[in-house]
Structure 1
Amino acid sequence: MILSRQNFRKQIREKRNRLCKDEQHQASLSLSLRFSTLPELLICQHIALYISSDGEIDTKPLIERLWKQGKQTYLPVIHPFSKGCLLFLHYDSNTSIKQNTYGIFEPELNKTCIKPISQIDLICTPLVGFDSLGYRLGMGGGYYDRTLKEWFITGVGAIPIGLAYDFQHVDQLPIKSWDIPLPKIVTPTQIWQW
């Protein structure tokens, strides 16, 4: 029997939040190392990520590794006028950060720092769970599904890559018509690709 989306979210989020600090730190370092082996990284310069929250695998080591490699990084910001959509703003160590309405950290909105999604090479997506077909289960707001829709239809634009702990993998998720499968998901021990 497949659990409901709500039950999957609850179970996996609880598991994430039970990890001790050392487990979280080791997993994030391993993920950063594994991510750095992606062949796409050789030709990609503009990479969108996110600041981890709610027990998500910590993206800070990965972001810092990308900075050392001279990559440009961007963070999502909830679009102030287009409901349910994301903007991506340049992010470096001097960027001013605030919490949004969901308690997620994002850059202060500054229109001079916006990078059009058409000019981003990779978009790293958070997820609560993922299955053996590459479908991701997010928090339920649909922000990334809307963001990735054009890429999914045309195959052009920023390539999405999910970031997760290994235990966030499940055999099968309950899928909805708007769900966008990812071509790759990186965990601390593996690169899943479809």
Structure 2
Amino acid sequence: MKDNTTDNSELSLWLAFKRGDEETFIAIYQKYVNVLYKYGTQITSDQDLVKDCIQSLFIELWDRRERLGNTDSIKFYLFKSLKRKIVEELMAQQKKVSMSALEEGYRFDLVMPFEQKLIVSQAESEQKQKLSKVLEQLTKRQREAIYLYFYNEMTYEEVAALMSLKVASVYDLISDGLKKLRSSMNKIDFMYAWLLFMLLRFSSLL
């Protein structure tokens, strides 16, 4: 459930940016550029393309700021905009591929930031290898839904909008994905893996 205070804060920040506040624009860029890069590189392995799309996105946002709609979730707005821009760039590279076909065909690798700000023991390393192998068994859409919902704290509605799905489909994707994780790991391994997943999620905020 969203915090109304957070919603109001996000909206106020967005409105200040739309009014042309350069400091606010820079603050938004600095706050989200890294998570945007992580998200983009899980859609495509072309890191240069992702960097170019992010740069282009922020240039367009600034140039069109007065004409943009309002949002109470800047992260969701940026994720959706970046995904569309990346897909469009990939489509331009494959001119005969339709947007819908490309949406179905893009990759989504759930790459956990295992190296970030963590000192791990050999046992932890083995557990991470197990988790990585299990994550590979999930479908692309299951990985993306889990990544957006748990790692990026988006609502089911936001995940559905970002993935062009119905909310019920997102429920099913996440539920089935977690069931698959549980069935592929014993109870202790699953609980450890889930704890590690949550620690990694919050480590990005440190």
TM-score > 0.5 by shorter chain: no
Question: TM-score scaled to structure 2, two decimals?
Answer: 0.32
Q: Which has the larger radius of gyration?
A: 2
More strand by share: 1
Higher RCO (C-alpha 8 Å, min separation 6): 1
More helix by share: 2
Question: TM-score scaled to structure 1, two decimals?
Answer: 0.33
